[in-house]
Amino acid sequence: MFIFGGRFGSRRLGDFWVLDTDIWQWSELTSFGDLPSPRDFSAASAIGNQKIVMYGGWDGKKWLSDVYVLDTISLEWMELSVTGSLPPPRCGHTATMVEKRLLVYGGRGGGGPIMSDLWALKGLIEEENETPGWTQLKLPGQAPSPRCGHTVTSGGHYLLLFGGHGTGGWLSRYDIYYNDCIVLDRLSAQWKRLPIGNEPPAARAYHSLSHIGSRYLLFGGFDGKLTYGDIWWLVPEEDPIAKWFIEPPPKNLPHKGMAVANDNIQSAFKESQREDDAITELQRRLGVSVSLSGPGLQIIDESDDKEFIELGSKLIGEKVSNNEQGLVSQTIEVLRGHWRNSTPSSIPLKELGPLLRDYQRLVTRHHLANNGSDFQHIESWLSGKEAHKFYHLNNVSQLRMDDIPKLLAEYKKLLPE
């Protein structure tokens, strides 16, 4: 994941960073070529698997309408020379790559007006040999009102626009924040209002909305007063999650997740076995193993924990099978030594599942060593204890990020000297 620019206090940034999602580590990059000026509220989109296009923004003095293309392999920026009519300079817009075109919608322009225009940029695909040029699109249907800070997310034949910040009034202006869903149907080339079956999230802007499988995942935002930290799914009517929300969830929960919704979502996930399940897709992208097979806690031996053994195999640089007992023992020892020397910030997310299961194995053996073979009484043994608080977790999805330091500290105490 690449990040360019932004703002720190009143200072616009022009730094360039990448997040390696294999090891979850940030690195600042040195790029070259036509370097973009520092800016915030620009918008960018991926062109295939190798390039990124960035448009517009605000540099603290003026609104921008420039286009830059980054080659993520060579780290070279190139300013795109565009002929013909240009969109008015803007910030707070969206830029969404749809096949061979970049679609730009809305934003705040020079002098402060909030816009509702839609533009398409061609000439971004080298193989097409097209001269770069902008075209303003005026589509029929129920078009969105002018706004900035919204999201436009591509999903199949549709582009889904959600939320944003606009203004109202005539003699005196006032802020409006939206929570409407508007679809741009690419087949019919028109705007459509998306009917929602229950009460939507609170109105907001500057949130994120991601397309995962057949669902859309909404996080955070700002409504002029409150900063939100809640998470919502937008799902089709037939989705297993949908039936859990007969009653509308509470509104206006800044800085907190939707606790009621989260419990229901976990139950719905257990019922959903579809191949295109959104969580499966999210796990694949993150490289995180999450088991939702059932409510009971199952403690399995190290040699039967396939993910645990595979992780250790990578550390020793040799493939290990169950019938190689000596090599299995070495793998276990090396992996536990790796975690003994790890810090919470150095552990990749994909290692948390094996780490949690090994923690539960060690707690179980600690109990049996101190209390004999009466495994049934482990619940009462753990009751009221501050230690071993993660023993009852069914899977790593129940861990919070601030639990990781505590889990690792407890795990290290359980390791044999």
- The DSSP string of 240-298 is TTGGG-SSPPPS--BTS--HHHHHHHHHHHHH---TT-HHHHHHHHHT-----S-SS--
Q: Which of 61, 67, 66 is nearest to 47 (CA)?
A: 67
What is the reported pLDDT for 368? 75
Give the pLDDT of the chain (417 residues) as one tens digit per residue. Answer: 999 999 999 999 999 999 988 888 899 998 889 999 999 999 999 999 899 999 999 999 999 999 999 999 999 999 999 989 999 999 999 999 999 999 999 999 987 789 999 999 999 998 888 999 999 999 999 999 999 999 999 988 999 999 999 998 776 789 999 999 999 999 999 999 999 888 899 999 999 999 998 899 999 999 999 999 999 999 988 877 776 654 454 555 444 333 334 444 344 334 443 434 555 555 455 554 433 333 345 678 888 888 898 898 888 888 876 556 778 888 899 999 999 999 988 888 889 999 999 999 898 888 777 765 554 555 555 555 566 888 888 888 788 877 899 999 999 999 987
344's CB contacts (< 8 A; 6+ apart) are: 404, 405, 408
Amino acid making up residue 362? L
pLDDT confidence of residue 281:
53
What's the confidence (pLDDT) of residue 150? 98
Round to the nearest angstrom and report the end-to-end CA distance of the chain: 40
Res 359: pLDDT: 93
Which of 204, 220, 215, 151 lies closest to 182, judged by CA?
151
> Which residue segments constitute the domains of the chain, with CATH numbers given?
2-286 (2.120.10.80), 302-414 (no CATH)
**Cα–Cα distance for residue pair 305/291, rounded to 1 Å:** 13
Q: Is the dihedral of CA 206, 211, 216, 220 positive or negative?
A: negative
pTM over 0.75: no
